[in-house]
A and B are shown apart, each in its own frame.
Chain A
Amino acid sequence: MDPQTLSFLGLPALAWIAVLPLCGATINLLLGKRLSKSTVTFIAVGTVAAACVLSGVMVFWGLFQHGVDATGNMSPKALWEGEGITQVAWKWIEVGSFKADLAFHLDSLSAVMILIITFVGTWIHIYSVGYMAQDKGYSRYFGYLNLFTGAMLILVLAASLPVMFIGWEGVGLCSFLLIGFWYENDAYAYAGRKAFVVNRIGDFAFLLGTFLLFWAVKSLDFQDIKSLANGAKYATTAWGPNGSQVWGHERLAAAAGICLFIGACGKSAQLPLYIWLPDAMAGPTPVSALIHAATMVTAGIYMVCRLSFLYSVSTTAMIVISTVGLLTALVAAFIAFAQTDLKKVLAYSTVSQLGFMFVAAGTGHYAAAVFHLGTHAFFKACLFLGAGSVMHGMEHGGSKTPGDITTMGGLKKHMPVTRATFMISCLAIAGIFPFAGFFSKDAILGGAWSVAGAGAPPGWPPFYGYLLWGGLLVAALGTAFYMWRLYFLVFSGNERSEEAKHAHESPPSMLSALVVLAFFAVVIGFLGVPELEALHKIPHAFHALETWLAPSITHVWWVDAGIKPEMGHEPSDVVSIVLMVVALGIGSLGIGLAWMLYGRGPSPTVAKLVEGPLHGAWVASKNKLWVDEFYDATIIRPFKAACKGLFEIVDRFVIDTIAVNGAAFVVSLFGRLARWFQNGQVQRYLVGVVVGAAAVFFVTDCHRHPAVTVTLKNDQLHLHAEPGAGIVGSNAKLHWHLDGVPACDGDKTLPGEPADRDIRRGDATGSSIALCIDDAISHTMTPVTVRVPTEETP
């Protein structure tokens, strides 16, 4: 079996990975209401689990096969070390030079993604079985969830930008559907709309970037763009149309890259488009877990990593990405400090962690970005599902505001499993050894350090790496602090409400997912142990991720002169270890601070600080830095006002009044005219006949003048006049008069005879001669002046 051509029922195996959940979605959305709950569950969980198994087969079997070239020789490299597997499902668009196949591409990067998506997705599905058991929209929920997974799989498996855009829009749609899942609640429906609209802004920029790339490269296939961007061909050829120099490749890559990155900002919730993500908490909690861990928000990171060959060309785009990432990490961490809603804290935490990933991508450490994406997927999914479990318990305890952490406390007695998994995930996100977050965050911090000073890539300020590193360190401190504040407020101390006392542990389907995800939150980090000299003795599997990702990611900076420096210079062992210790210290410091202030419930110091020196900061954090209010005042209100103006002027006046009512008025006017005419009286109709006949006579001009032709040949004028065919004119007598003054004397022709006369041109006085017409009926003479031609008639 050749993995490159493996297909079932005429559809390639890679397509099946995405199609399986889509099939589940189709069945559940169309027939779900008629199916029993267990059938719905079986279809939903089954299709995603099957996609997971198929992904596993394609990755762990398919990518390890060796390709066969045209001559039948076995390639020495496994598929994952080369170009990966590309399968075309069918031809989609072919217009002129533009060609887009519905093609899927599996290489080491998309392999990581599909494993995360299907694996975490499967566990979120299983968890949802327990969480949504009582909901009346059970089948609709699972239909959407499957659709979400399928769309995300299309996104990551896409072999070209247009196909990626299908998935890109698909996850946008599903986020809208799932965030507004409980649409009876206005606020929830609004949150869904907000997510959709904000994403739309990003999607617009994504499309602009796509168009720009197509304009320059004439193809949107990743491999085509890559072959142009990578290698010698790229270094010497500008990317203008027909090889013109209009856009130097750095500028083009920067423009296209930044446009696409704005799209990523929308999906991956970066400044300034992150505002939808905290509101996305309106959806059911497993959806939040899915959005935050496996789908949607990882799309932007994945896209940037997928296009690493494009970004490696432009330091401008890279600086933009890392700056936006850093600012987002800091701002979101700051806002998370004072939130009192369990899921809101986690949401801002996600925004902040995504900022970390973008810094990693922006400094060229795509592997670190994907690494953090993977570890984050596990511990953040675990955190969200844990939060769901807590809220589930609080609801059963009778709480009406199950997400309010001020009413919790002491839950470790009531929910031991949830608490244990939550703690593991909190340790992971705080970056404590040996949990997953430690390794991935360390890879990002090390990456930021490696572009500082002498390692600065071409065009980067040398200090910028230090700035990124320092900023991330502050964000990491904040992360550890707010996550552990959350943990202590929820699980430690005494119960602060009656409901908390009656909370109880969740059902096994929910707990099983928590345990599995927590297990991976512990061990997954060991896929990316840093490559230190001292650690070379450990098995290679511990550095597996970076090696694995290397073939699908561009590791060098491409600059105009064709210089290809490695991205960042790896710090020495000593520096690495110092960096790790610093990061570990920062994480522990954050946890320690949180324990001091919240270890046994909110301590009096907290109240003192909030009232005293930190009051301003606390209010700002509590109000989310007034970003929503700012957007409302600067964008939404002016936009609404403009819409209202346009509505009044264009819609109400131009379209309604002038176009629609105007047309109706004209029609009714003619109608009234016709009604007067069509009155059934034969005499009214006769008027029409008479008027019509008169018009015909008028137009055809009965009293036609004679036809006159004057030709000039060899200086001889030939005058010819013939009586017209009209009733009167045809019987006229004619006479040519040459004296210049029109007078009708002399011989006339007989009635109806033509008049001919030849003269020398000089004999015509002045420039005109006259024709006299003797009307046979009225016997009056009508002189007609005829112009004499000045040029010879051919």
Chain B
Amino acid sequence: MTDLRATLSATPSATPSATPGASPGATGPAAEPSRAQGVTITGLAKAFGAQPVLRGVDIEIPRGSVTAVLGSSGSGKTTLLRMLAGFERPDAGTITIGGTPVNGPGRHVAPQDRHVGYVPQEGCLFPHLDVAGNVGFGLPRARRKDRVPEMLELTGLSELADRYPHQLSGGQQQRVALARALAPDPALLLLDEPFSSLDAFLRTSVRLEVLRVLRKAGTTTVIVTHDQDEALSSADQVAVLRHGQVAHAAPPLELYTHPADAALARFVGDANLLPGTVRGGRAETALGALPLADGAPVFAEGEPVLVLLRPEQLVLLSADAAGSVPGTVTQRDFHGHDTVLTVDTPASGALTVRCAGAADLAPGTPVAIRATGPVTGWAQPA
């Protein structure tokens, strides 16, 4: 049963850099010393009662990288994190951290023996200890004197050493939690929705600050989040978790431009999906013939495909420009730095178009749209 799940999980992936043939047990940590220092998750499965939460998850996390696990609520991402930390036992599968197997058949290393740092969603600072006490909590007494000021310095908290958690702002609490987790120099750092409890204004600055600290410390990190923007902007690798399986794991740019399927394309950003036909290396669509990108799957001549056009790949033109299709603006969402327009076209229905700055186009304005390639796509069942 378990093996079957593990095999099923080897999701077809169009990405060259994705885990090559991730069959469980095929590649031992000893076989690839360079990877051995990172984290390897193979065939991880977990059910709560009759309800499966993870159905065979495989992720390879290179050493020193930041990997975001992205998923909607109920996708099993928190369970995955808790198993990495050792709070939950997997039903099947193996986890290897820094070359040491911590979960496997008949093996479960206790949380306190894993050297895994953990920053929970709400920070969870010890309310009875001040900032210095929190940061030094996981250190042997002798090391606190040197290490605590060092960590406070790194996270910019030196001035707050003797404050108590209730005297700190949300962003400061998050940084203390980070310093506390980093202090024992963990082999792996886990962040559970670290920025979701912060308001929008703080979120970006705290995120940048946390990433700066992480890069400086060079710690292998897993961030669990449901926020696509956050995952794409923070991570070296994004693993999208869907129904308890990894739907796609890739660097952010690749995930955005070449998602493994159409549903994934919608999940990691706004997407226009157009039906088309492949002719001579180009996809012929209602918006014209578009060149297929290098990373796109290989299609047969005349094969029906579904093509992905991101809103910024659509350009607004004056009404009768060559190679454009006419349409009418039906909705305008002004964001300041850009404007997202919904344009109704006779050729291809409603399309989402993003243009930089403030586009002064009220609903009802006639416009023309041209698509710019290259594009990716997926074979469409006839």
Whether both chains belong to one complex is answered with no
